[in-house]
Structure 1
């Protein structure tokens, strides 16, 4: 799977910091210092500040009234709330797009699923997350509603970061088995069944997160 080169330094800093937050390299509560980041990434202060502002909008960085910045801390409550929001948006997109899928779309879905599984096998969580998200994106974009996809994109990074799953996490299994079942149903022509199975992924996923994560809270 190929990735586009960010068009600006700000976009490059946003992607780098987002990846570090999603993978847990920058854990929740980490103090963010402009000058230190600029020096580490080899850029000026301006793209760092612009990137921090963008990641604040995405909910990945908290900016306190005194202007100090920290990687957003995570609770079970906001993790489950994000999954609920993601479910509403993504399932709406799936419902609107599923009847527009062609054989070409289904071929792309199968390709993304393979990339998803291969990336997990290689321990590449970022690539796995991107391929898994693309699986849903293909169907949502088939609806023709790009505004919805923009909203989904805003939630995806926050949801991925909150879970910060390793490649070995059992939480991936809901998506692997769900995507496989959806592909089979689509190839059988059962669009309603595919939608129902997609919705079930979120039910299973939420249950797993509630049961297995944040158990000490």
Structure 2
């Protein structure tokens, strides 16, 4: 497991949790893969307690599931669950845009343009991690400006299900469509048009969901 690094003592549970969550989302830990808390503790250089606490949080988020014998399995990607998650993510992100549009500064707009350009370059270079990170950073500017922590807390639970599917199907989607949609979102934010920004952000996420669900092979 390449993502494992020895970490410092403070906030061990959170550090283990964040590292494992990222590995699950990026598919470094593959769907269906079995892991043991003992092995993880050794890899991280910590006791088993923070690992177990982190795994419990991930289980509550349905990213892992418990197995007999102190083992845990990474959950399979559930298409129906991901589809429902896209609806929730789109609604929450749209709400954030509605709140943020009148509040975004000129500096925020400049940063949004910069992140969208990073997204464009990552797509051109087929760098899936860079593309997803740039997309997250773009939307994070809006989330920060919305100044509503409840939205972010709700997104933390559902967004990983969306991103896991995106990592698994990245090569099948036209990422440049998202870049174009981001340009439209930026224009709406520059105009302080809350309703338009909300609808554009919602469609940005929903259209991605439709593409990812439709391109998933039938089992």
Task: Tell me the TM-score normalized by structure 1.
Answer: 0.82
Match of 1:194 in 2: 197
CA separation of 1:168/1:180 partners in 2, compared to 1, >3 Å: closer, same or farther?
Answer: farther
Q: CA deviation at 1:32?
A: 2.0
Q: Could you tell me whether the CA contact under 8 Å between 1:174 and 1:205 is conserved in 2?
A: no
Q: CA deviation at 1:168?
A: 4.0
| Structure 1 segments unaligned to the other structure (5+ residues) | none
Q: Could you tell me whether the CA contact under 8 Å between 1:10 and 1:50 is conserved in 2?
A: yes
Q: CA deviation at 1:68?
A: 4.2
Match of 1:10 in 2: 13
Match of 1:77 in 2: 80
| Structure 2 segments unaligned to the other structure (5+ residues) | 1-6
In the alignment, the residues of structure 1 paired with residue 62 and residue 131 of structure 2 have an alpha-carbon distance, to the nearest angstrom, of 22
3-state SS of the aligned residue for 1:142?
Answer: helix
Q: Could you tell me whether the CA contact under 8 Å between 1:83 and 1:206 is conserved in 2?
A: yes
Number of residue-to-residue matches in the alignment: 212
In the alignment, the residues of structure 2 paired with residue 171 and residue 59 of structure 1 have an alpha-carbon distance, to the nearest angstrom, of 28
In the alignment, the residues of structure 2 paired with residue 188 and residue 96 of structure 1 have an alpha-carbon distance, to the nearest angstrom, of 14
CA separation of 1:121/1:211 partners in 2, compared to 1, >3 Å: closer, same or farther?
Answer: same
In the alignment, the residues of structure 1 paired with residue 71 and residue 38 of structure 2 have an alpha-carbon distance, to the nearest angstrom, of 13
Task: Tell me the TM-score normalized by structure 2.
Answer: 0.82
Query: Per-residue CA shift, 1:30-70, capped at 9, x if unaligned?
Result: 11211111222332212211221222233211235886421
Match runs of 1:1-217 below 5 Å: 8-63=11-66, 68-121=71-124, 123-165=126-168, 168-170=171-173, 172-187=175-190, 190-213=193-216, 215-217=217-219
Query: Per-residue CA shift, 1:130-171, capped at 9, x if unaligned?
Result: 331222222233222111122112222232123324664425
Q: Could you tell me whether the CA contact under 8 Å between 1:94 and 1:195 is conserved in 2?
A: yes
In the alignment, the residues of structure 2 paired with residue 44 and residue 121 of structure 1 have an alpha-carbon distance, to the nearest angstrom, of 42
CA RMSD after TM alignment = 2.7
3-state SS of the aligned residue for 2:146?
Answer: coil
In the alignment, the residues of structure 2 paired with residue 174 and residue 57 of structure 1 have an alpha-carbon distance, to the nearest angstrom, of 34
In the alignment, the residues of structure 2 paired with residue 11 and residue 128 of structure 1 have an alpha-carbon distance, to the nearest angstrom, of 25
